[in-house]
């Protein structure tokens, strides 16, 4: 069956695993009407619709809903630098075979965008899956539905839960990457995205640490600037967000890579200061 998006799908109403008929009660949404931000590129709209349809065809009644999150939902999507973030809620936990099967189909039908896709998911009880606290808040505050049978909501993570999450793996991973990038002698094309992300992460980290919420890169940078949380380095962070928004090459910012360890120190000091009695 040829879907309007151009993707190859199973005949509507037929379960691809068992072949039996099923009545669809899923509601489809027009993402171009729902997004209040800059227009989403047409190829990305087609891609996310196609991904949603593939999951619907595969899971059937097990699919509760699938949503845009990240920059496609709260603004600031960059064709060059952004991931395509989706949140999927299912009636039952997904298994590895579900992921592998759909990932293979996506790679076949949309190889140009498949590598940008980042899928976050949870079951309806939000007891298992891959939907960390900040992504859960993103889903609650900004999620834009693509397909939905039921709208289920998790308990909102507290600021303490957000901080406990941030100070663990996210801070460790970014710190390690920041040190690696600061020691490079040359910025190769494959590191452009990683370098910009490393420059912008202090703003996102400090924003979420202070507020317990998530925001676009632009809003996070503005918040950190107004509250003077990053010191003189805010100038570099501001130029980094302008570079990202323009889809420009970050090579002109590379000479200031030695500022990255300073950003690591600022974030660690914020954690330590907040943790003191």
Q: What percent of the chain has pLDDT over 90?
A: 82
Structure tokens at 12: 């509507």
At the top level of CATH, which class does the domain 27-148 belong to? alpha beta
The alpha carbon torsion through 191, 251, 226, 266 (nearest 10 deg) reads 50
d(CA 268, CA 98): 38
Decide: 264 and 199 in contact? Cβ < 8 Å. no
pLDDT surpassing 70 at residue 23: no
Confidence of residue 277 (pLDDT cuts 50, 70, 90): low
10 Å CB burial of residue 168 (0-12, 13-18, 19+) is exposed
b/e map 52-80, b = 16+ CB within 10 Å: bbbbbbbbbebbbbbbbbbbbbbbbbbee
The pTM score is: 0.88
Output the pLDDT for position 47.
Answer: 96
Sheet holding 63-68, edge to edge: 27-28, 144-148, 63-68, 84-90, 117-123, 129-130
Decide: 161 and 137 in contact? Cβ < 8 Å. no
Decide: 217 and 76 in contact? Cβ < 8 Å. yes
Output the pLDDT for position 22.
Answer: 41
Hey, which bits of the chain come out as E strands?
A: 27-28, 63-68, 84-90, 117-123, 129-130, 144-148
- Quick check: helix, strand or coil at residue 124? coil
Confidence of residue 267 (pLDDT cuts 50, 70, 90): very high
Decide: 171 and 105 in contact? Cβ < 8 Å. no
Decide: 9 and 1 in contact? Cβ < 8 Å. yes
Output the pLDDT for position 38.
Answer: 61
- The answer for residues whose C-beta is within 8 angstroms of residue 270's C-beta and 6 or more apart is 206, 209, 229
């Amino acid at each position: 069956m040829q879907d309007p998006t151009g993707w190859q799908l199973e005949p509507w109403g037929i379960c691809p695993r068992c072949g039996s008929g099923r009545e669809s009660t899923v509601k489809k949404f027009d993402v171009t009407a729902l997004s209040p931000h800059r227009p989403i590129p047409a190829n990305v709209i087609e891609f996310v619709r196609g991904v949603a349809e593939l999951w619907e065809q595969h899971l059937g009644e097990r699919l509760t809903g699938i949503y845009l999150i990240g920059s496609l939902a709260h603004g600031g999507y960059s064709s060059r630098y952004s991931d395509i973030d989706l949140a999927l809620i299912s009636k039952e936990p997904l298994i590895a075979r579900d992921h592998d099967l759909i990932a293979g189909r996506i790679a076949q039908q949309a190889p140009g965008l498949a590598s940008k896709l980042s899928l976050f998911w949870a079951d309806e009880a939000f007891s298992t899956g891959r939907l960390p606290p900040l992504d859960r808040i993103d889903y609650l505050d900004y999620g834009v539905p693509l397909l939905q049978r039921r709208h289920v909501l998790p308990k909102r993570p507290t600021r303490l839960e957000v901080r406990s999450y941030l100070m663990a793996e996210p801070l460790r991973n970014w710190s390690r990457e920041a040190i690696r990038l600061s020691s490079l002698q040359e910025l190769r094309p494959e590191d452009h995205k990683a370098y910009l992300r490393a420059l912008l992460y202090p703003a996102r980290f400090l924003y979420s640490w202070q507020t317990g919420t998530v925001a676009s890169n632009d809003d996070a940078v503005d918040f950190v600037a107004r509250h003077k949380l990053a010191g003189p380095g805010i100038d570099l962070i501001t130029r980094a967000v302008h570079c990202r928004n323009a889809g420009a090459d970050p090579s002109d910012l590379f000479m200031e890579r030695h500022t990255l360890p300073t950003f690591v120190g600022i974030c660690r000091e914020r954690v330590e200061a907040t943790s003191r009695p």
